[in-house]
Structure 1
Amino acid sequence: MNFTDKTVLVTGSSRGIGLAIAHAFDKLGARLILHARSAIKPEVIASFHQEPLTLQFDIADAKAAEEALKALYKQDDFEGIDILVNNAGITKDQITIGMLPADFAQVVNVNLNGTFNVTQPIFKKMIRQKHGSIINISSVVGQMGNVGQVNYSAAKAGLIGMTKTLAKEGARRQIQVNAIAPGMIVSDMTDQLSDKARKSLLESIPLSRFGSAEDVADVAVFLAGNNYITGQTITVDGGLHI
């Protein structure tokens, strides 16, 4: 695939899955726009073949998102966003009976409302330009639930519903909207697991290994390059949720 004529915005792309997705598109020639809530480190920016644009704002702040995107589109040489990957999100895990209402609200606000805050203004532009691809990073826990993640599960399930609705609304303007639901992906969290916890988790995964951020990035590139898939959720979990 070649994305040399495409501009890709990846939210939450300073590390982890978001950074891997941004690198995957960069290797295929795309123009990248990185986003994070805090300043992106110079070494991250330097890791790209083409110097990316950067955006810094909290996606949960609707006004901040609107103003940042408005300023981006006003740049004289900016032609628009072809591919949006909504990856930014947070977790605040706790069993349901012990979860603070504020922690439930914050996780839903960032992961679900925040995705809407970024998507709505870009979706409007895509409708006018009559093309576009939106990829929402959901989670396998949005499909199967998980102990201690009632807030995160609810938000990620909501993203799947959002994906289907946007796909129906955007189809006539050739806008494709899909979701990816990663399972257990190698991260700082998995690195800190005890041997017993790691063994238990691996036994629940038919492929008997954790996935990599690159496994998710490969699917994002595939979805962005295909012109006849929309409204779907692709699960990348080694068979955890079958």
Structure 2
Amino acid sequence: MNDHPAGNAAPTRPDPAGFIKANMRLAPVAALPEIQIFSAHPGSGLRRLVDPDDEDAAAPEPQPPYWAYAWAGGTVLARYIIDRPQTVAGRRVLDLGAGSGLVGIAAAKAGARAVIAAEIDRNGIVALGLNAAANGVAITVIGEDVTAGPPPAVDLVLAGDVFYGHEVARRVIPFLDRCLAAGIEVLVGDPRRTDLPLTRLKLLAEYRVPDFGDAKGTASSPSGVFSFEAVRSSP
């Protein structure tokens, strides 16, 4: 059954790769000039890609997709890796909740043996591939939620900006615990959001970088790179 009257065809979802290349800017990341990604700007018109069924031009903009911006946690984690390439050199790395792929790209550029990026957003997967190609690195993408199962065969998990909500944190923490149990090191990048499990973290470095949503001209708060630690048993 056709739900659209004659002459009023259903909106067509744009090709993500073509849309991203035509409407987003490939530019270096603030505080991380070694890496460039396709980023949204006020004229990008992301609604056409994210919600093509919404024909009301007067409706408020939807929440911008996280893969279209560099977030503070991913930025500081990528900065840490570029500054300390020995962190990833020769190792198999998982970029968890990869978004734009910024952290995985940093790992690949710093000499990781292999980089896997876990990302569930279909447009994010496309953006990640374009960003990796723009930076001349190879990344393998897993397009599903890996937190529900066992960790993949990696040596290091990089988790930037994964503690942005309570329910997400409840899924991520048990997965990271399974990683630790399997002998996999875990590094976290975050600007100390509310659901960050600080009691499980050891601070390794801090950087002041912009975060998505910061007002122009405001001073950036410190964002941290942490190691995720196993629960200590009581004496």
TM-score, normalising length: structure 2: 0.39
Looking at secondary structure, tell me which structure has more strand per residue. 2
- Structure whose CA Rg is larger: 2
Looking at secondary structure, tell me which structure has more helix per residue. 1
